């Protein structure tokens, strides 16, 4: 793999807008991804993740804004921008009745890689993604994880500096997902910039930097630790029953912002922990609930995302434009 020496941003999006009819899918997104970064676009279906990716690969034309891949504008310099990027779509389309090696050759040809170089790259990448030894297997009979790895190998054939992965590990087991992420980290070590979309926090937490995408805008971005840091000491885990009583008592505490049930456990978001830690056990007992345990836990990305959504709502209530 060539090591990319540049430090300039490899993905730059500046004020991107895209509407379909009267639906605004992407509403003013700006982001920058530098060499060696894995940027996670985290959001629900319909938040604008796939539209944003398709704008960046030049498959869709933005209504406003600019995007550059490795310095090349994706609209005015589409071919050069595309030559720098590898894209693994949500449904990677390969030829099920071709073998692994034939698929790689086919994709190589479509990317202008041929001859000795294709043979060399193909051997290297199949080794890299862990498919060496199954070159002659039909792609259609590969497991889900192997299919994704084949997709990644194909996306890397032309040595892109930028890799876009649209929900790459959906449906894979944690071990296979771990393997896949090891590959991504090795790309990062070579200086590649990676943009990954996902609706899942357990995936998002693997990225070096994240943007929470909601209704077409990035609510906040930062390293996972930066995003959860404001909630340090403010998430409590409560074990108590029954649920209706527990939720009513907890919500009535003046320092509680939110409570969510996880089976028979609750995550309670508080303004400050001291008061609730002292009050809640007594209040629960007084209400006739059974109380088992209450402790501070490390905030998760999900807690951070939910706190942001709640902040946005309260800002809107107070007439502040997001």
Task: In angstroms, give the least distance from the CB of 284 to another protein.
Answer: 17
Strands (E), 124-262: 162-166, 193-198, 209-214, 217-222, 235-241, 256-262
Among 45, 79, 116, 136, which residue interacts with another protein (rule: CB under 8 A)?
A: 45
Residues 131-150 touching another protein, rule: CB under 8 A, are 143-144
Q: Which is nearer to another protein, 45 or 97 (CB)?
A: 45
Regarding 274 and contact with another protein (CB under 8 A), the answer is: no
Q: Which letter, b or e, does each residue of 5-37 get, where b requires 16 or more Cβ atoms within 10 Å of its Cβ?
A: eeeebbbbbeebbbeeeeebbbbebbbbbbbbb
Task: In angstroms, give the least distance from the CB of 310 to another protein.
Answer: 8
Q: Which is nearer to another protein, 262 or 319 (CB)?
A: 262
Among 11, 89, 172, 280, which residue interacts with another protein (rule: CB under 8 A)?
A: 172
Q: Of 258, 308, 319, 223, give the one whose Cα is nearest residue 47.
A: 308
Regarding 261 and contact with another protein (CB under 8 A), the answer is: yes
Task: In angstroms, give the least distance from the CB of 155 to another protein.
Answer: 20
Q: Which letter, b or e, does each residue of 99-110 get, where b requires 16 or more Cβ atoms within 10 Å of its Cβ?
A: bbbbbbbebbee
> Rounded to an integer, what distance in angstroms lies between the CA atom of residue 224 and that of residue 273?
22
Among 24, 98, 123, 306, which residue interacts with another protein (rule: CB under 8 A)?
A: 306
Asked if residue 227 lies in contact with residue 58, where contact means CB atoms within 8 angstroms, the answer is no
* Burial category of 97 from C-beta neighbours within 10 Å (exposed 0-12, middle 13-18, buried 19 and up): exposed
Tokens of 275: 């008061």
Q: Which letter, b or e, does each residue of 245-260 get, where b requires 16 or more Cβ atoms within 10 Å of its Cβ?
A: ebbebbeebebbbebe
Q: Which is nearer to another protein, 66 or 265 (CB)?
A: 265
Q: Find the farthest-apart pair of alpha carbons in the chain and give their distance in angstroms, rounded.
A: 78
Task: In angstroms, give the least distance from the CB of 72 to another protein.
Answer: 28
Regarding 288 and contact with another protein (CB under 8 A), the answer is: no
Number of residues interacting with another protein: please give it, by CB under 8 A: 47
Among 18, 82, 105, 206, which residue interacts with another protein (rule: CB under 8 A)?
A: 206
Regarding 224 and contact with another protein (CB under 8 A), the answer is: yes
Among 141, 189, 272, 322, which residue interacts with another protein (rule: CB under 8 A)?
A: 189
Where does this chain bind another protein (CB under 8 A)?
38, 43-47, 143-144, 171-176, 178, 181-182, 185-186, 189, 199-202, 205-208, 214, 223-224, 242-244, 260-265, 297-298, 302, 305-306, 309-310
């Amino acid at each position: 793999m060539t090591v990319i020496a540049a430090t300039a941003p490899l993905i730059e999006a500046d004020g991107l807008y895209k509407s379909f009819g009267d639906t605004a899918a992407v509403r003013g997104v700006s982001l920058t991804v530098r060499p060696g970064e894995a940027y996670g676009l985290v959001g629900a279906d319909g938040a604008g993740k796939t539209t944003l990716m398709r704008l960046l690969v030049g498959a869709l034309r933005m209504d406003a804004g600019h995007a550059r891949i490795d310095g090349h504008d994706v609209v005015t310099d589409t071919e050069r921008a595309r030559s720098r990027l590898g894209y693994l779509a949500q449904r990677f389309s390969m030829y099920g009745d071709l073998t692994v090696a034939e698929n790689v050759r086919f994709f190589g040809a479509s990317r202008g890689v041929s001859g000795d170089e294709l043979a060399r790259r193909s051997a290297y990448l199949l080794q890299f993604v862990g498919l060496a030894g199954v070159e002659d297997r039909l792609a259609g009979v590969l497991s889900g994880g192997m299919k994704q790895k084949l997709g990644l190998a194909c996306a890397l054939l032309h040595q892109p500096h930028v890799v876009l992965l649209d929900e790459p590990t959906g449906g894979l087991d944690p071990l296979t997902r771990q393997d896949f992420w090891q590959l991504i980290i090795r790309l990062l070590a070579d200086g590649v910039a990676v943009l990954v979309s996902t609706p899942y926090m357990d995936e998002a937490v693997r990225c070096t930097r994240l943007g929470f995408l909601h209704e077409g805008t990035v609510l906040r971005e930062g390293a996972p630790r930066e995003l959860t840091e404001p909630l340090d000491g403010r998430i409590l885990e409560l074990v108590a029953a029954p649920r209706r009583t527990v939720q009513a008592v907890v919500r009535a505490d003046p320092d509680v912002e939110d409570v969510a049930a996880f089976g028979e456990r609750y995550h309670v978001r508080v303004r400050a922990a001291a008061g609730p830690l002292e009050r809640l056990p007594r209040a629960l007992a007084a209400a006739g609930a059974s109380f088992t345990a209450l402790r501070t836990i490390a905030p998760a990305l999900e807690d951070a995302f939910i706190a942001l959504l709640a902040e946005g709502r309260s800002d809107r209530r107070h007439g502040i434009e997001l």
